[in-house]
Amino acid sequence: MSQKIDLDTTAVIFRPVLIRAGVAALFGIATFFIQTPSDAVVNYGSAIFFLFSGSAMWEYLRRDPVPEAMRTPLSLMAALWMLAALTLVGVQLGGVSPTVTWIVIAAALGLSGIAELWAFAWHKVFGPARDHLIAGIAGIAVSGILVFVQNLDYHRIFGITGTYALVVAILVGISGIGYWLDTRKAVKEEGYVPPEA
């Protein structure tokens, strides 16, 4: 239970948090089941993952409880993910090698990981910012793995990126479900009326 986070905050942010977790879970599960991905599957699949993750982050950062100063790193994350999505579509349409694919994904995850750690700096003022610590570390770690692993083919790129997505899905999903349960409990037991999102 998120006792230190007020209900007006949990009621407003649980939806975008759960959307981010759902997007990550769908992508992570897809990478698990697609064992021999083609270049199109990796590029377009990763682009869709980044596009919807960026959209979910945009929905999250524009909520009223999010501190104004914290919106800068969150905006950077959303913009990086959207730019990565566009770049991966261009990589696929241009028929470029897997090297460019892993460079784009590594750059997007590494830079967004740094932005998530920056967003974590507000955890004492805004409790949900705690969720960004492990997600940021995971983004930086996966970026490093993509950089240092030799002979990356599409299968490895997809699997490594999918692992990041599953970590984020679990971490963010647990938080989102906790926020939703706290809000739901207050509505049922205390007659709490959530603010409009």
Q: What is the pLDDT of residues 92-105, one digit of tens each?
A: 999 988 999 999 99
Angle between helices 98-120 and 39-61 (to 10 degrees): 20
Q: Residue 182: how many CB atoms within 10 A of its CB?
A: 21
pLDDT given at position 1: 42
pLDDT at 4: 72
Cβ 65 vs Cβ 126: under 8 Å: yes
pLDDT at 86: 98
pLDDT at 37: 96
Contact indicator for 42, 101 with CB cutoff of 8 Å: yes
pLDDT reported for residue 151: 87
User: Would you state the structure tokens that stand for residue 170, as one six-digit string?
Assistant: 């679990």
| pLDDT for residue 194 | 86
- Residues 177-196: pLDDT tens digits? 999 999 999 999 988 888 87
Kindly report, residue by residue over 120-136, the tens digit of the pLDDT: 999 999 999 999 999 99
Whether the per-residue pLDDT at 72 is higher than 80: the answer is yes
Question: Which helix H or strand E contains 175, and what residues bound it?
Answer: helix 154-190
Q: What is the pTM of this model?
A: 0.93
- Segments in 34-153 forming alpha helices (H): 39-61, 71-94, 98-120, 131-148
* Band of pLDDT at residue 2, cut at 50, 70 and 90: very low
What's the rounded mean pLDDT across residues 107-116? 98
**Rounded CA gap, 109 and 139, in Å?**
5
pLDDT tens sequence across 19-69:
999 999 999 999 999 999 999 999 999 999 999 999 999 999 999 899 999
Q: Please determine, for residue 76, whether its predicted confidence score (pLDDT) is greater than 60.
A: yes
Residue 19 in contact with residue 169, Cβ under 8 Å?
no
Using CA atoms, how far apart are residues 17 and 59, in angstroms rounded to an integer? 9
